[in-house]
Amino acid sequence: MLDRLTSRPKLTDDQKRRVPPGQYVTEKWPVLHYGSVPRTDLASWDFKVWGQVEEPFTFTWDEFLAMPRKALHTDIHCVTRWSRLDADFEGVPIQHILQRARLEPTARFVVEHCEQGYTTNLPLAVFDDDDVILADKADGQPLTPEHGGPLRLVLPKRYFWKSGKWLRGLEFRETDQIGFWERYGYHNDADPWKEERFSD
Ligand SMILES: Nc1nc2c(c(=O)[nH]1)N[C@H]1C(S)=C(S)[C@@H](COP(=O)(O)O)O[C@H]1N2
Ligand SMILES: [Mo]
């Protein structure tokens, strides 16, 4: 429901507590990315897992659809200050991928590799959590190409640039490697509750 004066959504007390500092709530889901929307041919699409893992592997779209699934009800926060509350995603829990890959003890960081060379990076300790999924559905529908379909990461505890759209691979590393927006001065840690928007 919209507030008549501000035409912003009316929030419950619980929702208000879930809005990080400096953010406003939007009911629409903005589309935000660098570059154009890639078109994907699911027949030739694949996803690679490599780096500091005992079991590097590649899976196809059909293999992805056969993996265990999970629904995620959560809030998302963009560094450009919009937050969307009570979003619904569905996909494969990241822990399924981590278990199958069998990480080396040396693996401490992850790089998400997306179409067109977009990357973003996270410590494994942030990435390995039960609210992180490889999502192919949002709000009950297949993820649209604009929002990262066929497959994106959803990692709600960090600003949303850490959730790569059109994700095609995960690289596990001993050392950190900053990604696309991080190179442009975005904060490497990106915690919305600490307002880690930009590096200094
Ligand atoms: N591949 C790719 N993923 C990306 C981006 C991008 O430029 N390229 N932008 C990020 C940013 S800044 C945000 S806020 C979210 C936006 O996702 P949405 O368009 O579905 O809202 O995607 C993130 N993932
Ligand atoms: Mo963003």
Going residue by residue through the chain, which has 200 residues, state the pLDDT in tens, using 9 for 90 and above: 676 666 677 999 999 999 999 999 999 999 999 999 999 999 999 999 999 999 999 999 999 999 999 999 999 999 999 999 999 999 999 999 999 999 999 999 999 999 999 999 999 999 999 999 999 999 999 999 999 999 999 999 999 999 999 999 999 999 999 999 999 999 999 999 999 999 97
Best substitution site from 26, 114, 161, 168 to test ligand 1's pocket, by max atoms within 8 Å of Cβ?
Answer: 161
Q: Is 118 in the pocket of ligand 1 (CB under 6 A)?
A: yes
Q: Which ligand places an atom closest to the C-alpha of 36?
A: 1
Q: What is the pLDDT of residues 67-79, one digit of tens each?
A: 999 999 999 999 9
| Cα-to-centroid distance, 11 and ligand 1 (Å) | 25
Is the Cβ atom of 31 under 6 angstroms away from ligand 1? yes
| Closest C-alpha residue for ligand 1 atom 11 | 161
Q: Which domains does the chain have, with CATH numbers?
A: 45-194 (3.90.420.10)
Residue whose CB lies within 8 A of the most ligand 1 atoms, among 160, 162, 168, 183, for a mutation test: 160
Q: Is 159 in the pocket of ligand 1 (CB under 6 A)?
A: no
Taking the CA atoms of the chain, what radius of gyration do you get in angstroms?
A: 17
161 close to ligand 1 (CB < 6 Angstrom): yes
- Ligand 2: distance of its center to the CA of 130 in Å? 22
Ligand 1 in reach of 163 Cβ (< 6 A) = yes
pTM, 2 dp: 0.96
Give the position, in ligand 1's atom list, of the atom nearest the Cα of 79. Answer: 14
